[in-house]
Amino acid sequence: MIKAENLIRKFGSSIAVNDISFEVKEGENLILLGTSGCGKTTTLRMINRLIEPDSGTVFIDGIDVRTRQPEELRRGIGYVLQSHGLFPHYTVAENIAIVPQLLKWNKADTRKRAEELFHKLNLDPALAGQYPAALSGGQQQRVGLARSLMVNPPVLLMDEPFGALDNLTRISIRKEFKALDELVKKTVIMVTHDVQEAFEMGDRICLMDKGEIKQIGTPEELLFHPASDFVADFFKEQRLQLELKSVLVAELLPGYSDRNITVWERMEQLLHEGHSGENRLNNESVPDNSVDIEGLMSAFSAYKKG
Ligand SMILES: Nc1ncnc2c1ncn2[C@@H]1O[C@H](COP(=O)(O)OP(=O)(O)OP(=O)(O)O)[C@@H](O)[C@H]1O
């Protein structure tokens, strides 16, 4: 669906992006990961033509983006920024109605879609009449996402979308975002420098350094089959946590009923149930309760020993 071919972009004499190519399939979530200044944002902005490459081509659905008018192109690509990008002198409702207005939606449809997204993003409808400054950072970020989703673009670009939030808000909001049905269907490219975030959110991760791609692959591939010492070293400090986030319970226990839950997520559930004193057998949201933390850890360690 998105194909970047041999992109090069210089600023003066320094090369921000140095001949990179990658593909993102429809519905996939690709994370651009790397330390500050490695070229992630420049790469992202070449997709919606906020930055033009010096050479190379971006295709969306096989069409060279340079053949499309930038404004028209961007209406079909949601864009979420770290600083939410809301206009301070517009109310929340006015902010999220901007693109629908450009597309000449009628007011009733705009209101209906806004209400739907407010509900999905756990936003209080009363916030619609407020100005962005009156909202918390988490609320502003939700509104920023609602705005980018209003006209249901098939592609979403997110640049450090949780970067301005405190750690606890950040962790809970990214979990919500990951589970959001509107995002599951979309082709998403997200920039982050946070390794844990990349492993939680990404179907595949594109690890960059100094304008180049060091490796693209699933979290598991990067962790267990690093292409170089650079890649292995990049994840060294957080390795155990990342392994727990990248391995599925079903890989350890083939009969496990929830095929998509990671060992990390299941451990969090088990700990939460332990703390809240819930009766696990009555918790219908957990499809298979037959394994406890000790069982999970010993299956994980057997898996690692191979
Ligand atoms: N408009 C610009 N003018 C000059 N240099 C720029 C410009 N934009 C980016 N650069 C330089 O290009 C390089 C890559 O920047 P880019 O913002 O893409 O990196 P990044 O990986 O997104 O970093 P960060 O996580 O800090 O945002 C950096 O050295 C940066 O200083």
Identify the three-state secondary structure at position 214: strand
The pLDDT value given to residue 207: 98
What burial class does residue 170 get, using C-beta atoms within 10 Å of its C-beta: 0-12 exposed, 13-18 middle, 19+ buried? buried
Indicate the top mutation candidate among 9, 18, 38 to test ligand 1's pocket, ranked by most ligand atoms within 8 A of CB.
Answer: 38
In this structure, of 117-131, 172-186, 199-213, the range with the lowest mean pLDDT score is: 172-186
How much of the chain is helix, strand and coil, in % rounded to 5? 45, 20, 30
pLDDT over 70 percentage in the chain: 95
* Residue 101: exposure state from Cβ atoms within 10 A (0-12, 13-18, ≥19): exposed
Choose the most confident range, by mean pLDDT, from 3-12, 78-87, 251-260, 278-287. Answer: 3-12
pLDDT reported for residue 178: 81
Q: In this structure, which residue's CA is closest to atom 2 in ligand 1?
A: 11
Protein residues whose CB sits closer than 6 Å to any atom of ligand 1: 11, 14, 16, 34, 36-42, 193
Are 206 and 30 in contact, with CB atoms under 8 Å apart? yes
Q: Which atom of ligand 1 is nearest to the CA of 45?
A: 18
Give the residue extent of every domain in the chain.
2-237, 247-305
pTM: 0.87
CA atoms of 258 and 164, how far apart (whole Å): 33
> Which protein residue has the closest C-alpha to ligand 1 atom 18?
39
Cα separation, 203 vs 28, in Å, equals 6
Report angle CA 159, 71, 181 to the nearest 5 degrees: 50
User: pLDDT digit string (tens) for 187-198?
Assistant: 999 999 999 999
CA of residue 41 to ligand 1 center, whole Å: 7
- Match domain 2-237 to its CATH number in 3.50.30.30, 3.40.50.300, 3.30.420.40, 2.40.50.140: 3.40.50.300
For the segment 123-164, what is each residue's pLDDT rounded down to a tens digit? 999 999 999 999 998 899 889 989 999 999 999 999 998 887
Q: Which residue CA neighbors atom 30 of ligand 1 most closely?
A: 37
> Could you give the angle at which helices 239-246 and 263-276 cross, rounded to 10 degrees?
90
